Amino acid sequence: MALLTILEYPDPRLRTRAEPVTVFDEALGRQIDDMFETMYAAPGIGLAATQVDYHRRLIVIDVSEDKAQKHVFVNPEILARSGSAVTEEGCLSVPGIFDEVQRASQVRVRARDRHGIEFEQDLEGILAVCLQHEMDHLEGKLFVDYLSDLKRERIRKKLDKDRKARAASTPAPLPARVPAL
Ligand code: NI
């Protein structure tokens, strides 16, 4: 397995719309395993293929404490959504930034697993929020797009400053609040 590089906002590659997965082979399995390893190492609770510059409709999620509930969604489609919840979200591609986003609190999703087998699942709570956040990535959308232009500009500047500080090897501390998605 290998750790993949996570693209960071405002990298234009994060704006790519992902294509459906059509081949369910060993290479796809390796990509899924590498994405889990990358997500756990970050650490995060969700990762979309777009974030690692792999532009196929593929998402991995594990919101459990003990890395024991791996969810893989290939070519996911939301069939139904209900309720509404405001959650403070973070994103591995927008490190150290957290803000409130409103999304459906329950979703029914249809997707394929790593072997291409189709399934449907009802998700709620953090899992539902996480799936919607990751599906946005596949459309080239980031959670900061839900915020005001002013906030987004501040975030862009802060990340730029953090990156420069990292390059000058003065590590910028990241607030550890909610897990990043
Ligand atoms: Ni994200």
168's tokens = 């000058």
- What is the CA(136)–ligand 1 centre distance, in A? 8
Q: pLDDT band at residue 169, thresholds of 50, 70 and 90?
A: confident
Q: Output phi, psi for 30, to 5 deg.
A: -65, -40
Interatomic CA distance for residues 9 and 87, integer angstroms: 20
Q: Give the environment of ion ligand 1: residues with CB less than 5 A.
A: 91, 181
Mean pLDDT of the chain: 94
User: pLDDT of 124-160, one tens digit each?
Assistant: 999 999 999 999 999 999 999 999 999 999 999 999 9
- The torsion angles phi and psi of 159, rounded to 5 degrees, stand at -65, -40
Amino acid letter for position 13: R
What is this structure's pTM? Answer: 0.92
Give the model's pLDDT for residue 173. Answer: 62
CA–chain centroid gap for 44, Å, is 8
Task: Let me know if 65 is a catalytic residue.
Answer: no
Cα 8 to ligand 1 centroid, rounded to whole Å: 10
- Three-point CA angle 50, 1, 20, nearest 5°: 30
DSSP 8-state secondary structure symbol assigned to residue 80: E
User: Tens digits of per-residue pLDDT, 63-88?
Assistant: 999 999 999 999 999 999 999 999 99
